[in-house]
Chain A
Amino acid sequence: MRAMYLANYFVAGCIASSFLGWIASLHPTSFRAIVFLGAAAFVIWVLCWLLDYSVSNLLKITVSSLQAFLLAMLAAIAIGAGVFLCS
């Protein structure tokens, strides 16, 4: 059951990234906004990798859980964006 809820949240992340792609396709301004949002998210993602021990203490989770979450987030964004671009 734990795997099921993790899989469901992962699918939700994939769909959310597809939805962001859909928003980006609506208008050039929204595209720029989504690009900016993506760049900011990437910077935060890299910072989380660099400061993983501090962030894990802040979020009160283990370092391995944080790293798994970051990897899952990257995979979800990649899958969601890939599905949107290939469709």
Chain B
Amino acid sequence: MQLKMFVLSGAAVALWLVPLTALDKRIGWHKSMQGVTLCAAIACAVTAGNIARKQAEQNEIEEIKTRAITADVVDEIATSAYISQQQRQQEAEQILNPREHLERSLVLTYGEDERSKPIAQNQLAEPEQNGSENGESERIERIHQLQAKGWGKAKIILEIWGVTKGGSPKYKAAKAEYKSLWPPPPPPFVFDRG
């Protein structure tokens, strides 16, 4: 297509200039030949222009397509990077909190199937018995996390020990354990003028 365009352009220029310079205007058939070649030259130039215009439009479309594909690829890479970052963050959270991780994995593994409940409870109980040394540090860490979220004492006790606020011995024991694990902040300094 480009070759055709170049040939037509060259032909247009040649048909325009050669007859005008080479032929004599005073001779009748020369003059008529000049008119014919000028008409042909106009046709060639317009055709070549149309071909070039179509090619230019196609090139623009190709450029737009290339830009769209590049943008898609960049977006895909950015999305995958964002997702992988989220996954890493979730994995890190799960590693920091093994009890929750175990609970979640059990729920995911067994779902709401009633037959699996005893197995799940056994599996939950095992780490509690075995890891009594780690229990305290895990609870302290959990208290840290919940306090960072802005939770109150009663809510934290309910979350960790599963006891509602009241005068029950279980709540008192849980409260004592909470105090032992999480000492309250020192009282604010009061300036005594006396």
8 Å CB contact of A8 from B35, B38, B45: B45
Determine the distance from Cα of A15 to Cα of B35 in the docked complex, in whole angstroms. Answer: 11
B residues with a Cβ closer than 8 A to A are 5, 8-9, 12-13, 15-17, 20-21, 25, 31, 34-35, 38-39, 41-42, 45-46, 48-53, 55-56, 59
Chain B residues with CB under 8 Å of A84's CB are 20
Contact A83-B17, Cβ < 8 Å, known A5-B56, A15-B38: yes
Q: Which of B42, B55, B59 makes the CB contact (< 8 A) with A15? A: B42
Q: How many A-B residue pairs have CB under 8 A?
A: 71
Contact B42–A12 (Cβ < 8 Å): yes
* Nearest CB of chain B from residue A67's CB, rounded to whole Å: 21
For residue A4, CB closer than 8 A to chain B, the reply is: yes
Name 30 interchain pairs, CB-CB below 8 A, sorted by A. Answer: A1-B52, A1-B59, A2-B52, A4-B56, A5-B49, A5-B50, A5-B52, A5-B53, A5-B56, A8-B5, A8-B8, A8-B48, A8-B49, A9-B45, A11-B12, A11-B13, A11-B45, A12-B12, A12-B45, A15-B12, A15-B45, A16-B42, A18-B38, A19-B38, A19-B39, A19-B42, A83-B17, A83-B20, A84-B20, A87-B20
In A1-53, which residues have CB < 8 Å from any B CB?
1-2, 4-5, 7-9, 11-12, 14-16, 18-19, 22-23, 25-26
Q: List chain B residues, Cβ under 8 A from A23.
A: 35
Please report which residues of chain A, range 50-87, place their CB below 8 angstroms from some CB of chain B when the two chains form the complex: 83-84, 87
Report A-chain residues with C-beta under 8 Å of the C-beta of B16.
11, 14-15, 18, 83
Partner of A4, one of B5, B13, B38: B5
A-B CB proximity, top 3 nearest: A5-B52, A8-B49, A12-B45
Residue of A nearest to B21 (CB): A87
Q: Provide the main secondary structure of the chain A interface.
A: helix
How far is it, in angstroms, between the C-alpha of A82 and the C-alpha of B34 when the chains are bound?
Answer: 16
Neighbouring B residues of A22 by C-beta, 8 Å: 31, 34-35, 38
Chain B residues, CB < 8 A from A7: 9
Residues of A within 8 A of B53 (CB): 5
CB-CB under 8 A from B46, the residues of chain A are: 8-9, 12
Give chain A residues whose Cβ lies under 8 Å from the Cβ of B25. Answer: 25
Query: A12-B42, A87-B20, A87-B21 known; 6 other A-B pairs, CB under 8 Å?
Result: A1-B59, A2-B52, A4-B9, A12-B46, A22-B35, A25-B31
